[in-house]
Chains A and B, each alone.
Chain A
């Protein structure tokens, strides 16, 4: 980036996701989309692609669109292929002198549309090398259909399809490490970020993802007050705890080189992140300490591996 990040300056840009959309109050996805689109250079156009999900049904309900840029939604499982098609059209029409100017291609999908049903489409688009930024707003479950587990849902989380009962204690499996899988695609830029603090980390990474040539992938933690069951005003706190407990580390991988973006001064215990959320409430009942221990052990192991890879 050519200039030093300045939040005040950035928010003075005309918003590309306008107010009046129908996302829930306190939704992580809305601020993430605003934040990512804010990283576009003012003079550049973009075509936004969106997988079916909360974001799509809330930001483009006929006859109103919340986007000032062109936008396309086609289906749930094909956002990356859809973006591929737009980019292919751009290349063809540019070659034939039918479009000019810089147009950037940005895709938004939730974790359902990215980790699960849209995974094949995403993997294919990354392998083909389309010039696009794929942004996953990861709220760790199928929120649009009413909070069902996805492969991104963390272990022990309660969802409508991983309920807590006499026999089962929420989701049985660990969260899929999609960011790592995207790194394995050997694409030029992969990063993990969150709507944190003054948004510098998110902004910087969004800029790199949008302006690095080739396929780039951003995984952004998107707190969901409904699905995670916490008060809607607490997004900033919850996000901060996810990062400071190392449950959601911030890092980037540029041309295969791992770089840790943030190491908390004091690594907080995982239970600090879990406690405020209703989806983990059963982990704090008497006799369930083993769950907290297992969750902590998993985070520690992932964090150590990240430190190793990033040489931090």
Chain B
């Protein structure tokens, strides 16, 4: 059925359709609407989820961890500083192999405090053992959330899943969306039936041990193996999802990449803007294309290398800084992925849009202009730069 929903409402609606056992709820801009919409579903008796309105994001994640360990399917939503406050517990959730689903509505991290979109929050959690799936628009935010539980809960994976969408740009903009029937969603997602859980009568369970050096590393390796295994599962679930929705998803989306010589690697809603630029440049005869990363964890390194193998110059667009001194996190992953190619394209990184600074079709066109120069001259110039900086004089 067709509807018009904001990204937040679409995700809240997906949660309603799933009707999870427990929700840990705490407000933070721009994810606040998700627990708000859901509170209304609870108040109206449209779901029978145990809704726990806690006193911090730290406690919402703590509630989710404990509830999931107790045998319940649990969800929460957060943004920015809320995710940062959960940081310690994100690792606990993943290491306890608890497939919690978290809707992350991306927002810049403090400081300075800023409520608009970039990926500094979820990029800070990229090494926590959570699967991360990013949406370009409302439809993808809805679809990704519905796919999250079948991915995370499967026994070969058993990892928590963070479905991410761009704060305000996606979370608050109302778009046309295709919703699935609730029965279809429920049967697709299924029920959560862990083998072992705290409330299991027959077999008490202990969770969260003090794990000494003799065992800790084996447990971490199991977690790493699970993350590797997640890649195939994500594709399997996507294939199943296509059957019920007609919508097709991969680890990333290739847009006009068949013969592309100049390409972008980027994430999220910027893909929409960049696709418009690609179309425009294609019409002018430039062999432009882009790769939109959907699954950042596990990172599809081999697949991305293949996708970029025949390009001549590539720009990574990073919407978070990272402070490595060598470019943003998406650039680090992409450059690492390309290392194994015998012949690599030229590669640059442009950090853009921090704290929600807008990016326009013209900005993308300029990036392609620069890629064309690099391809022609063989000179990359500055490999890592920031897009559209105002001068010091402009600042005052």
Q: Which positions in A face B, CB cutoff 8 Å?
A: 45, 47, 49, 56-57, 60-63, 65, 67-75, 77-78, 81-86, 88-93, 95-96, 98-101, 103, 120-121, 123-125, 127-128
Contact = CB atoms under 8 A, between A and B. Distances in A.
A63 B209 contact: yes
Given A60-B208, A61-B209, A128-B52, A82 B21 contact: no
B55, B199, B211 interface centre (most CB from chain A within 10 Å): B199
Given A45-B201, A85-B63, A73 B207 contact: yes
Interface string B28-70: 0000000000000000000011101111101100111111111
Contacts of B267: none
Contacts of B54: 81, 84, 124, 128
A85 B199 contact: no
Interface in B196-229: 198-201, 204-212, 215
B90 to A, nearest CB: 11
A83 B88 CA distance: 18
B89 interface: yes
B207 A72 contact: yes
Interface of B: 21-22, 24, 48-50, 52-56, 58-59, 62-72, 74, 88-89, 92, 96, 198-201, 204-212, 215
B207 A90 contact: no
Contacts of A95: 48, 50
Contacts of A49: 66
A127 B54 CA distance: 10
Contacts of A128: 52-54
A-B pairs, top 7 by smallest CB distance, nearest first, are A85-B66, A124-B55, A89-B70, A89-B72, A81-B62, A85-B63, A81-B59
A61 B52 CA distance: 31
B215 A63 contact: yes
B70 to A, nearest CB: 4
A73 B341 CA distance: 45
Given A47-B70, A63-B209, A88 B50 contact: yes
Nearest to B53: A128
Contacts of A65: 206, 209
B72 A82 contact: no
A86 to B, nearest CB: 5
B58 A81 contact: yes
Contact of A124 (B56, B64, B89, B200): B56
13 contacts: A61-B209, A67-B204, A70-B206, A72-B206, A84-B62, A85-B63, A85-B68, A86-B199, A91-B50, A92-B21, A93-B199, A120-B59, A124-B59
B12 to A, nearest CB: 18
B62 A62 contact: no
Contacts of A60: 206, 208-210
A81 B63 contact: yes
Nearest to A66: B206
A122 B56 CA distance: 12
Contact of A69 (B55, B66, B204): B204
Contact of B71 (A57, A74, A98): A98
Contacts of A63: 209, 215
B22 to A, nearest CB: 5
Given A72-B69, A89-B67, A96 B21 contact: yes
Contact of A62 (B24, B48, B67, B215): B215
Contacts of A83: 66
A86 B206 CA distance: 13
Given A124-B55, A128-B53, A128-B54, A74 B70 contact: no
B209 A73 contact: yes
Contact of A89 (B71, B88, B211): B71
